[in-house]
Structure 1
Amino acid sequence: MSETAADGPALDLAGQWDQVRGDAHRAIQRTEQAIEKADTGLADRRGELDRARGRALTGHADWRAREVDNLLSLARAALGPRWSLWEEAERHETGPASEASVAEVSAAAALAELALAVRRLKSPLRRKRRWVAVAVAAVRRCDDLIARSEANAARQWQEGMRAATRSRNEAVEDARRGWRHDLAQLRRTVDALRAELDAAIPPADADWSAWHPVSRPVDALRVGTYSRRGCEGEPLAVPALFPFPGTTNLVVRAGRGVPGRADAVLGVVGRMLASVPAGRLRLSVIDPIALGSAVRSLAGLNSDDVRLMDDPLVRPQEIENKLTELVERIGRVDRDLLGPHRLGSLVEFNRRPGARPEPYHVVVVFDFPRGFTTPESRTRLDQVMLNGPRCGVYTILVIAEDNPDYPHHLAMGEDGQVTTGPAILAPAGVGEWTFELERPPASSWEASDVLRTVVDRVADEARDADRVVVTPKRMFDLLPVATRPELGGIAGVERPVRPRDPSTWWQGDATESLAIPLGTYGLDDLMIMRLGDGTRNHVMIAGMTGAGKSTLLHTLITVAAVLYSPAELELYLIDMKQGVEFQEYARHRLPHARVVAMHSQREFGLETMRTLTAEIERRAALFKRYKAADLAGYRRARAEAGASTGVGAGADADADADADDPPLARVLLVVDEFHVLFDADDEIGRDAAGRLATLVRMGRAYGVHVLLASQTPSSPVAMGSDAVRNMEIRIALRCHDQVSRRILAENNPAATELAPRGEAIYNASSGQRGRDTKFQVAYVETADRAALLDTFRALAQSRGLLLEPLVYDGDRPGDITSGVFAGLANARRDPAAPLRAWLGEPLGLSAPVHTDFSARADRALLAIGDDAANVGVLTAVCASLAAAGVGRGEGRLAAVSVVDFTAVDQRYTEVHDELATLLPGLRRYGAADALEHVGELAELVEKRTMNDSYTVDLVDDCRFLLLNGLHRCRGIAAAPSWSGGAAGLGVPLDYLLREGPEVGVFVVATIDGNGLRRVHRDILNQFGVVLTRQRPQQYDRVDALSGLATNRLRDGQALLNDDGDVTGLRPYQIPPAGWLAAFARGLPPHPRGSEPSS
């Protein structure tokens, strides 16, 4: 697809974000300069004030030294030896008062007074003491004058500093206010640009699940983040973009010991793939040391139908050859595309309206100069790096040391830090920013979903551009009609089959074989899978994820259902993985399907195999009656018997032959991800291998065919080599070498060379080399398949062929309301039979799981689970007992009692109320009354036990004690034995558990899985029937929990250990409100098969 003007101009994302960085830098610079100017002004003013204050202090010091200290020297000389008078006067705080106040005294007056006192001291006739006091007072006044002057200077300095600081703060605040305004504007710009950028180039930590390749180049790579702090410490971060496709290369300096260097390059390559439309980027990798391991996650770009990447180049000669090829390509682009149009780059050419875009090419060179062993190879690299970007050829060069010829853009250190180098990623002059390389949420780009998504979807869109889709209509158009199978036809198909015309469906006759078209090969030849043709009866299919295995299975099932009616073909569809591949066949009730299983467990797969081996045995009995060797012989003999005048009058039929015997359809068992059955070397795996061997060995004669599909097939050892040998038809989609050799043959790796999706190999000779036929699998659109399934259902109903498939969902809990429980519970019961409690749905095809309460030891039931699950078990038990007549009818109302140890606010009140309707005589006790009630039952047991002639009638005489939340009972953790003091509940309960079942008194208890340690193991070990949910072994009863693999169970599943017999089940959950009451209303007044005792 070429770009047109309608696509709009390419986004100049790199330029826009460079502008943002520049704007941010200039705003920060303006603010910092304004703050610096204010700080400088404050510092200048401080200097001025400091100097003025210093001058004042110096003047005062000089004045005192010059005037005061001189007079003091004269006074000392005048006093001579009587200087002590001066010292004495100084010790007095005050001297003779001056005629003027201190405030009015000037420096001159103080000096004059001091000078007068000095002169008087010189006179021998004067009183020395008086004039010493006057002189001292004068000195003090001089010092006071100096102090007041200095204080005034300090005050002036402080006032000046306050004014200067205020002026500085106002300037700083103005600058910061401007910065905040600039920052707000910057953030608005960043938010707007980021939204635009995220839409065009999502960040690595975004959800890429909905990403699709762009329709036009976005001209930038999002390689990381630039970050710095704002003027007030705010974190600023903007994406780091590298222009691509542009006019430059990318050079990375990183030694081989630097962790993550190859992964970083891988991330850049992934970004390159995501920045241009799918198919417009080619990739070459030169990796002479690691041999291409760094780009192994890009393998999806290199396949038979998508050649976006060359095989890694590791040898010097092939490196030089590739560079020579690129140099020639550069010359061709320059000569043929750019020159005639006077264009500066291939980017400009590709943007021209009407141009057929020329793909870009990226060459990645690891560990340069390793592998460049000749001057010619280095010259070719120089030519590519110098001329390539202009002509759409770009180089990612990884060097170990600085190289002046190749200045690097990024430098990766051994500490994992990445810095920019002399070859910058953006225009200069935008300030100091810290660079951080972009990383995905996963541990590496190689392991990230982002790269996987990009590679897969780029390859898919590039592949689909030339992809040919084979539709069912195309296949049926190629199908010859009224043609014998050996000539390419399908038995029974006499008219053209039209997928949209149901009247043309179901023509196929499966008497001799099944023939199912799967796709086309060669020049419109039809690939038909034929089952029942000689020894070709069973199929193995393998294909890696995305290769088209699911498409193949859907095509096979849908096309078979178009060709054959449910009377000719029965399907057993089993999905062993946690998927929903077959869900739509259950939802639409495919009439051909006998079983549709989703989220299946190994037990269900094994149960299905057992069902089919039983079907083979049933057919063997029928064939024997008709003396038939295979399905075709049986059908013919049956037809002859029906056409004869008397039953069994056919020439070869036994006298027991009956014209009403079923015609028998062919059976196709489809198991997806069959390897799950054989993953473990355990009883299930061994049994499954044996059953598989039986099916593939005997199925041919009885019309039972097996199709096993998997991404990773089990080894022949696990499956059984005989079974594998008998599965002659092998279908391989693209897969790894080991899988190809397993699904085809040891010497046949051909499946590794298939296209990534939709191309397959059909080999009907056990996969032997030289017998492969490559074909394109047909594809049925999802909407078309849904419409066909709806029509199948309507057509079957119109022909009276409507059968309901058994649908199994391993993740769905047991449903007591489905109708199956009611049918089983209300079935006529033999009065002598044990009381049967239906506990849940099976993990297979058998009837719901039950346990029997009979007059023998070890018939107590323990359910281990959470409160809701345990109440569901108790509900099922009560409903089963009520259906048998226990607790209903005359003389039986006291048969069932419940002791609930759970907290009042945690009880299921609505369930209890409905149980009272179901069991009118149901007695309920709290924890306080438990000991008394259990003691009464223990006395009843003792009384019956002491009566040697007592015979229990289970319906009339039984007693059921239901203990909900037994682990919450006080004292139950103690050993159940007398110890000289008052006995707790454990003693009578232990007696009930040991002796009660044999005289018709049964205990059903529930505990939380975490409460096992709160119940003494001697009591736990008395329970012979244990239902446990996801709990490993917790106590020591060998035939109860020891060794049960309950850790494999899913939610809603459990194991029932009934006296050593272990059965998986999905226990019934609590029914919706009203169901128990409705169930009770439907019960007969008395149990069927017996009358109430008098």
Structure 2
Amino acid sequence: MAGSRRELIEQLRQTLSYARGSARADLAAAQAAADAMRDEHARAEREAQRCGQRLLAAHATRRGEVDRQSLHRLRAAADQLTALAIEQAPGAAGLDWPHWAPTLPARAQPPGLYRIGRLLARDVVAGSEPPLPALVAVLDEAHLLIEDPGHERAELAVRAPAPEPTTPVTHRPTERVHRFVGSLLLRILGSTVPGSVQLTVYDPERLGGSLAAFAPLAQAGLLTFVGPGGLGDVLDGLVEQVRRINETVLAGDYAALRELHAATGRRPEPWRIAVLLGEGDGAELTNAQQAQLDRLVRTGPACGVHLLIAGIGPAGEWCRHPQLDRIVLWGDRAWTSLTGNQFLVQLDPPPSIELATGTSRAIAAKVLAGPDPAVFADLLPAKEWTESSADRLAAPVGAGPDGRLVEVELGDSPPHALVGGPSGTGKTNLLYALIGSLAARYSPDELALYLLDFKEGVSFARFAPGRRDPSWLPHVRLVGVNVNTDREYGLALLAFLHQQLRERAEAAKAYEATKLAELRAEDPAGQWPRIVAVIDEFQVLLDGRDAVALEAARLLEDLARRGRSQGIHLILASQDLSGIDALWGRASMVAQFTLRIALPKARRILAEGNLAADTVPRHHAVINPDSGAEPANRVAHIPDAGRRGTLDVLQQRLWQRRDPDAAPPVLFDGGRVPLLSEAADLAALVPGPEPSRTPVALVGHTIDVTGRSAGVRLSRSPGRNLAVLGARAVEACDVLATAAVSLAAQYRPGAVRFSLVCLDDDAVEAAKRLHDELGAGGHDVDWYDRDGVCGLFAATARALRDGGDQPARPHVLLAYAVDAAATRLERKDPATRRSARDDLKDILGRGPELRTHLLGWWRSVPRLRDDLGGLGARFDAFGAWLALDVQGAELAPLSTEPGGPHWYPRERRALFFDRAVDRRPRVVIPYRTEEQR
């Protein structure tokens, strides 16, 4: 038992020893493994530390780049916001008070925003970010609801994620509210035109004392203080203003005054600002007041009626309207609807009382002194060439006593205008102002102008291209100046307008239209601008009882009666209407001129008993669209439209916008003799095919709207010869030279033969110049004097007799003073019993059929008759004639009019008749040849 026990103990000892050894081995292995793991962890930790350091370094580098880029973007954004703030609140609207002074806005510039302080980020107290101007909108945009609920409520509102959507609680206006309102009003008054803002202040608590600095405005009618109990009347009056403006000013044409201002460049109504400083703290509005307030909040801004509200309550639905901006004051800070409560506004300190009072006094004095004289720029629209003339033409010509622009209108009523005023009262300047104002509003597709000036001057020449200024007014189709001795040109214009009337009437009939607006609607692709013809000193055209005056009066009466429906309008200007015999007995024509414009001391322009023209001051005019009836008078100050920098600048600008294919206006200057080298018709002549072509011999410049040349077609028909009649040698030589040069331009060298016969010593120099010019052009030209004239006529007549029916090379005989060789021409050859006159008759009779034409000058009609056979001679051999200093009665044998044409000779004018094309003679201007310039 004992041995067994010992064995068991030994066995247990061995087992334990083995277990201990095994455990020691395992523990040693574990310790080794742990040591290895500890070393590995240390290595990993060291590597991780190195990687972390590299990552931190890279992150720091990247963060620095990001911070620099972000700072750059923030600075750029701040600069842009600052620039935008300056742009939106320029001048007095945004200047610091230490540098503040009133500034007038640019013409037609709409009101912008107004500065109230500087922006602060919501979580920034010290304002470390760039301080940006904080702005609010008032005029033409919104109303303002101003609150000062106390420090705790304002701070609670700022902590909210967004401005409170609930209806605000009204509080009695505090001192901060009054200071804020005064600051804002001063910025508004200082950045608008004096007199363009009218204030109404309802302040039952302080009785206007908080805004007493603006009291001087009351002297000029720009400020009204309303006492307790007057709120209802204030609201009712403003609602009535909104109704009136919608009905009579906007009248459905515009949705708001700001749209009218943008479209026309003028604002016919002032801004009306009502400052409503209520009692707050339980003061209630009646239902009627609540309703009126709601109407004003909804409709006021469109009509220039704006509210600054504080302490009016209890607040109703009107305070939720989107056009009602909200400003919540918090000490010297605030938040606004424009910024939201994500940003605070550090309010500007209020301006000094002296600054507000001085500014108010200056504004009142300016308004009491009356409006500034009108300037031409005031007549121009904000955007040019945007208006349609389908229904009418309307444009301002000056400013009324209230500073508003006074318009003239041409359409169905009134259709035409009479302008009157003695010399020196500004009639031409008024026409300049009207033309410029119309041209700026209507494009050349909408308006065509025809300008004619019968006085001795070049008032309208500025609208055509000149030597110093190549520009022209794109609307002008024709300009006539210095036409006081060329009434035929005025008659030609009336005839042209009459033709335009006929064409429009036919087009309207085809489209079943009764007036221009309907025709344009039916034919949108057609060119149907309104036509305005301005005729200054028109009484010259109607002076006397001759054929020109009678025909002009007839055409004027028809245009005045029927022109309105086809968009053709007349503006007749004169010193007055007295002494115009052609108008007597034509009361129906005068009655069509219902637009009357009377300058100082004008007579017989306005209706009898209307003496406004006697009292109107200088540089002013009475504009009356009701035939001069006194109730329709409107007095306008007419700006200086003729000085440099006004109408000329506008013309340059519009000329730059013209259609590149547009032709310049036709200019007729009665005081200037046109040069042959400048004639467009001469430049257009080129050699043509032979022998089928019919050449044209030009003789002078026509006095009509085309501005073209008159000429004789030298066909192979009988009588295709030209007789120049009169004793003015220089002009006769110019006519023959014009005919020869123009004929030469139509033939190649050698294709035509010229024979110059000079029988007057006074014409030798001119004839020699022509001879040399033709020869220099390569043409065959022969010279003959008294000794050779008979031989030339005999040889030419013999060639015609022997040539049969085959036409030879064209032969043009240019004969100077044929009657000077009368003795030689009448001598008969003893052998043949023929004289040179007989040969001359053969040349005249048969020559044209064989392409031989005589262009001859006779110094009187009787001498031409002698060369043709005496008293019984016929003038059929001359199908065309041109008379210089020859009385109309002397031309009776050559004319189809009994007793001869109505013609009084004058220098550098000729009467031309071509029986092949003319019904009656027409007046032309003989060209000066290039050498005589």
1:288-437 equivalences under 5 Å are none
Provide the residue aligned with 1:1057 in structure 2: 913
Output one character per residue of 1:808-827: Cα deviation in whole Å (capped at 9) or x when no partner. Answer: 11122233222512355339
Query: Which residue of 704, 717, 721 corresponds with 1:860?
Result: 721
Structure 1 position 810 matched with structure 2 position 670: yes
TM-aligned CA distance change 1:814 to 1:907, over 3 Å: closer
Residue among 602, 609, 612 paired with 2:497? 612
For residues 781 and 1061 of structure 1, what CA distance do their matches in structure 2 show? 41
Checking the alignment, whether the CA contact within 8 Å between 2:542 and 2:582 is kept in structure 1 is: no
Contiguous gaps of at least 5 residues in structure 2: 1-247, 267-375
1:499–1:562 Cα contact (<8 Å) kept = no
**Letter of the aligned partner of 1:733 in structure 2?**
L
Which one of the candidate residues 729, 750, 754 is aligned to 1:896?
754
After TM superposition, give the deviation of residue 690 of structure 1 in Å.
2.3
Q: CA deviation at 1:805?
A: 1.0
Deviation at residue 774 of structure 1 after TM alignment: 3.3
Q: Which AA in structure 1 matches 2:474?
A: P
Match of 2:773 in 1: 914
How far 1:781 sits from its partner (Å)?
4.6
* Contact 1:542 1:735 survives alignment (8 Å): no
Shift of 1:905: 6.2
The alpha-carbon distance between structure 1 residues 1036 and 563, as it changes in their structure 2 partners (threshold 3 A), is closer
> Alignment partner of 1:499: what SS?
helix
| Aligned counterpart, 2:234 | none
2:757 partner letter? V
Q: For 2:564 and 2:260, how far apart are their aligned partners in 1? A: 18
1:782 aligns with 2:643: yes
CA distance in 2, matches of 1:981, 1:512: 79
1:633 to 495, 501, 518: 518
- Paired residue for 1:985? 836
Contact 1:815–1:841 (CA under 8 A) maintained in structure 2: no
Which residue of 2 is the match for residue 727 of structure 1? Answer: 593
CA distance in 2, matches of 1:552, 1:876: 42
Q: Map residues 625-774 of structure 1 onto 2, 5 A cutoff.
A: 625-639=510-524, 659=525, 661-662=526-527, 664-713=528-577, 714-715=580-581, 717=583, 720-735=586-601, 739-740=603-604, 743-745=605-607, 747-748=608-609, 750=611, 753-755=614-616, 757-774=618-635
Equivalent position SS for 2:921: strand
Q: Determine what percentage of the aligned residue pairs are the same residue.
A: 24
Task: Name the residue aligned to 1:218.
Answer: none
Alignment match, 2:696: 836
Residue 964 of structure 1 pairs with residue 816 of structure 2: yes
Which residue type is aligned with residue 1071 of structure 1? E
Q: Deviations over 1:218-254 (max 9, x none)?
A: xxxxxxxxxxxxxxxxxxxxxxxxxxxxxxxxxxxxx
Query: Which residue does the alignment assign to 1:338?
Result: none
How many residues of Structure 1 are paired with residues of Structure 2 in the alignment?
A: 555
Return the match for 1:822 from 676, 682, 686: 682
Does structure 1 residue 516 correspond to structure 2 residue 390?
no
Deviation at 1:578, TM superposition (A): 1.8
Q: 2:406 aligned to 515, 527, 537, which one?
A: 527
Structure-2 residue corresponding to 1:928: 787
CA distance in 1, matches of 2:722, 2:254: 60
Rounded to whole Å, the distance in 2 between the matches of 1:719 and 1:541 is 20
Q: Which amino acid aligns with 1:1001?
A: T
Q: Is the 8 A contact 1:853 1:1002 kept in 2?
A: yes
CA distance in 1, matches of 2:405, 2:835: 80
Contact kept in structure 1, 2:843 and 2:854, CA below 8 Å: yes
| 1:540/1:907 CA distance change after superposition, 3 Å | closer
| Equivalent of residue 599 in structure 1, options 482, 499, 502 | 482
Alpha-carbon distance in 2 for matches of 1:671, 1:1048? 25
TM-aligned CA distance change 1:730 to 1:1016, over 3 Å: same
1:584 aligns with 2:442: no
Residue-by-residue CA offset, 1:471-493 (whole Å, 9 max, x unaligned): xxxxxxxx989983999999997
Q: Secondary structure at the match of 2:677?
A: coil
Counterpart of 2:265 in structure 1 is 496
| TM-score, with structure 1 as normaliser | 0.46
Note the alpha carbon deviations across 1:693-735, whole angstroms, 9 max, x for none.
2322232222211101111333573583332222211112234
Query: Alpha-carbon deviation of 1:1012?
Result: 5.5
Question: 1: distance between equivalents of 2:521 and 2:261?
Answer: 15
| Matching of residue 874 in structure 1 with residue 736 in structure 2 | yes
One-letter amino acid matched to 2:384: W
Give the Cα separation in 1 of the matches to 2:400 and 2:263. Answer: 23
User: Which of 494-503 and 572-581 deviates more?
Assistant: 494-503
Tell me which residue corresponds to 2:893: 1038
Counterpart residue identity of residue 1031, structure 1:
V
Q: What CA distance in whole angstroms lies between the structure 1 residues aligned with 2:863 and 2:610?
A: 55
Other structure's SS at 1:913 match: helix
2:276 aligned partner: none
Task: Summarize the alignment of residues 163-562 of structure 1 with structure 2, pairs less than 5 Å apart.
Answer: 484=253, 494=263, 496=265, 499=377, 504-532=383-411, 534-562=412-440
Q: Would you say the 8 A contact 1:697–1:726 is kept in 2? A: yes
Q: For residues 849 and 838 of structure 1, do their structure 2 counterparts lie closer, same or farther at Cα, with a shift above 3 Å needed? A: same
Change (3 A) 1:769 1:838: same
3-state SS of paired residue (2:473): coil
Local SS of the residue matching 1:1069: coil
Following the alignment from structure 2 to structure 1, what is the Cα–Cα distance between the partners of residues 518 and 640?
Answer: 36
C-alpha displacement of 1:873? 1.8
User: What is the DSSP-based 3-state SS (H/G/I as helix, E as strand, rest coil) of the residue aligned with 1:678?
Assistant: coil
Cα distance, 1:553 vs structure 2:
1.0
Kept in 2: contact 1:585–1:596 (CA 8 A): yes
Contiguous gaps of at least 5 residues in structure 1: 1-478, 640-658, 1076-1094
Amino acid at match of 1:513: R
Structure 1 residues 486, 860: closer, same or farther in 2, change over 3 A? farther
Q: Classify 1:781/1:1056 alpha carbon distance in 2 versus 1 (closer, same or farther; 3 Å).
A: closer
Which whole-Å CA distance do the structure 1 matches of 2:529 and 2:260 have between them?
A: 15
Task: Tell me how far apart the structure 2 counterparts of residues 596 and 966 of structure 1 sit (CA, whole Å).
Answer: 40
TM value normalised by structure 2: 0.53
The equivalent position to 1:574 in structure 2, one of 452, 473, 491, is 452
Cα pair distance change 1:718/1:939, threshold 3 Å:
farther
Q: 1:995: Cα distance to partner?
A: 4.3
- What is the distance in 2 between the residues matched to 1:989 and 1:821? 31
Secondary structure in structure 2 of the residue aligned to 1:559: helix
Secondary structure at the counterpart of residue 681 of structure 2: helix
Pairwise CA RMSD? 3.9
Q: Which residue of 2 aligns with 1:1082?
A: none
